[in-house]
Copies of this chain bind each other. A is one copy, B any other.
Amino acid sequence: MIAPLLAHIQKYTSLTLDEQTIIEQNVKCITLAKKDYLFSEGDLCNAQYFVMEGCLRMFFIKNSGVEQIVQFGIDNWWISDYTSLTLNTPSLFYLQAVQLCKIAVLKKDKQDELFLQIPKMEHYFRSIYQRAYAAAQTRQVYFSDLSGREKYEHFANSFPDFVQRIPQYMLASYLGLTPEFISKIRAKK
């Protein structure tokens, strides 16, 4: 059931069969229909989500009422509201399925259990968070210093398959552009 997750962990550390079984016992697999929510603003987020298939989007609602997407979760990515998860504060975000999804759910208490039973899982998550934080730092440059066209092209070149999979208005929300602007760029190609 969680073969994609076990394969992902094994890119960072080797796992015995016993360890794989322990991980399977601590992770729950769920299927989400399009538009299902994992959590909403005001909820306590108490789990992390590993996307095995499909696509999630994390967004917040601006004071103006407009949805602002801050992150997508695609195949082999972990996604969560780490402030709510770490500090037990109500989430500022919504996490929703963009399409049919298969998700591995790791609850906070189960993660603590894993760290006790398989200490090298600390290495795995240390590596994952280090990369996620690195991406967040670098995104600050791309998002504040590229033109609309450059932002679109940087994103499309970095994630060519992904750009085909999500609705244009969601990509626009993430990049801070209008759907019409993206249509124009695409039409010119």
Contacts and interface: CB of A to CB of B under 8 A. Distances in A.
A83 interface: yes
Contact of A129 (B126, B138, B144): B126
Interface residues of A, number: 35
Nearest to A71: B137
Instruction: Tell me the dominant secondary structure on chain A's binding face.
Output: helix
A82 B141 CA distance: 13
Nearest to A82: B134
A70 B137 contact: yes
Interface in A74-132: 81-83, 85-87, 92-93, 115, 119-120, 122-123, 125-126, 129-132
Contacts of A60: 141, 145
B129 A133 contact: yes
A86 B125 contact: no
Contact of A87 (B82, B134, B145): B134
Contacts of A131: 82, 86
Given A83-B137, A92-B141, 17 more contacts: A60-B141, A68-B144, A68-B145, A70-B137, A70-B141, A82-B131, A82-B134, A83-B134, A83-B138, A85-B134, A86-B130, A86-B134, A115-B123, A119-B120, A122-B126, A129-B133, A132-B133
Q: Nearest 8 CB-CB pairs, A to B?
A: A82-B134, A129-B129, A126-B126, A136-B136, A122-B122, A83-B134, A133-B133, A83-B138
